A = this chain, B = another copy of it.
Amino acid sequence: MPAGMAAFSQGEYDRRIAKTRRAMEAAGLDAIFVTDPSNMAWLTGYDGWSFYVHQGVILTGEGAPHWWGRGMDSNGARRTVWMEDENIHAYADHYVQSTTDHPMEDLCALMARLGLAGARIGVEMENYYYSAKAHAVIVAGMGNARIEDATALVNWQRTVKSDEELDFMRRAARIAEKVMQVAIERAAPGVRKNDLVADILHAGITGVGEDWGDYTAIVPMTPSGLDATAAHLTWDGREMRAGEATFFELAGCYWRYHTPICRTVHLGKTPQKMRDASEALNEGLAAGIEAARAGNRACDVANALGAALEKAGIKRGARCGYPIGLSYPPDWGERTISFRDTDETVLEPGMTFHFMPGIWMDDWGLETTEPMLITPDGPAEPFCSIPRQIFEK
């Protein structure tokens, strides 16, 4: 066993591997090749900002997983994964961002050495870190294998969190509360947005007590006024102004585990239409949390929210939540379940969501959201405790 930084117990990794193998068996797969950094980390402990080059984890029907990546990152694998050195495979640097050689040529040779030349192999066709070109090279290079789409196969195994994972998320939740408090406290007319974001990031990375802050998979979203009509604008150097609302879409992150949360600040007296919307939104959040029970479906949460908003004349039209946990950029969602009226996934105890009903109107935006845990009985348990309101300053 290496001197690595693998964050979880071996029992936890064994549980994950066994669960994933059951899913592989159900899908008729001999092996999977996963490139989603979150899936790589969940299976092996691997942690590094190396996902901008090709890398992945191979899991077959037996033995430990295989880490495969760029030579200069294999040292990082040795420092972070729980497997022995012989399960760490490096490719040469001439493959990196080359216009003539592709790293997947090296991967094909490795898969052949692992006895997978004629195997059924699942790949993550819908992933940021599995390009169309990578797939083409693998399909061409593994002529006798069957390459099948196993998108989100591992992600689905991650939906129910273990106690070890929930412990990480609760630590992240304390950090999330801290960053949101900083955002609310420091927001004021005349404050440059980038200075506010600097304070938010400082608070988040400093963390809470011994719980150090990790980088979040999405940077702080902090748009004001008309910019808050858009969901995903980042900051610039303009000053905050009286009469404008700003929403803060932030997260705490502890060792790659996220707890995101959103609140809205209004500088000066809040217009009546926003107060009305906030009241309806709070009713919807309460109804959704009430509906987010083990045995209910994802759509039940969306419908409970929708009914409350509709009474107030607000039509959203977008999904209102997604699973959260271990994540790498560019998304802190897990890309499996969606809180939307067509998603009939049954909720299970230990699932964790960001219940995220942002409202983006023509000339203002409002976000009050809750990260929450599905419990064995009763409504969902919010991870954070920050009053649900527009913070008027």
Contacts and interface: CB of A to CB of B under 8 A. Distances in A.
Interface of A: 3, 5, 47-52, 71-73, 75-76, 78-80, 92-94, 96-99, 123, 125-136, 149, 151-152, 192-195, 197-199, 201-207, 210-215, 218-219, 221, 226-227, 229-237, 255, 317-319, 322, 329-331, 333, 335, 338, 340, 342, 358, 360
Contact of A48 (B50, B212, B233): B233
A212 B192 contact: yes
State the copy count for this chain.
Answer: 2
Given A72-B360, A96-B338, A331-B52, A215 B234 contact: yes
Contact of A71 (B151, B193, B203, B318): B318
A206 B237 CA distance: 9
Contacts of A149: 133
A313 to B, nearest CB: 19
Nearest to A193: B212
Contact of A330 (B49, B75, B226, B318): B49
Given A131-B127, A131-B130, A133-B126, A49 B218 contact: yes
Contacts of A227: 79
Contacts of A98: 338
Closest 8 CB pairs of A and B: A212-B237, A132-B135, A76-B230, A52-B331, A194-B212, A75-B230, A198-B205, A125-B133
Contact of A132 (B80, B125, B203, B255): B125
Nearest to A207: B194
B232 A214 contact: no
11 contacts: A49-B330, A80-B233, A96-B318, A132-B132, A132-B134, A194-B212, A197-B205, A198-B201, A198-B203, A212-B235, A329-B330
Nearest to A256: B234
A203 B205 CA distance: 13
Nearest to A219: B215
A205 B219 CA distance: 12
Contacts of A234: 47-49, 214-215
Given A125-B131, A197-B205, 6 more contacts: A47-B233, A48-B230, A49-B219, A50-B232, A72-B230, A212-B235
A335 B97 contact: yes
Nearest to A329: B329
A201 B205 contact: yes
A192 B50 CA distance: 23
Nearest to A196: B205
Report which residue of A3, A51, A132, A230 has the largest number of chain B beta carbons within 10 angstroms of its beta carbon: A132
Contacts of A123: 132
Contacts of A129: 128
Contacts of A207: 194, 237
Nearest to A316: B93
Contacts of A151: 133
B133 A75 contact: no
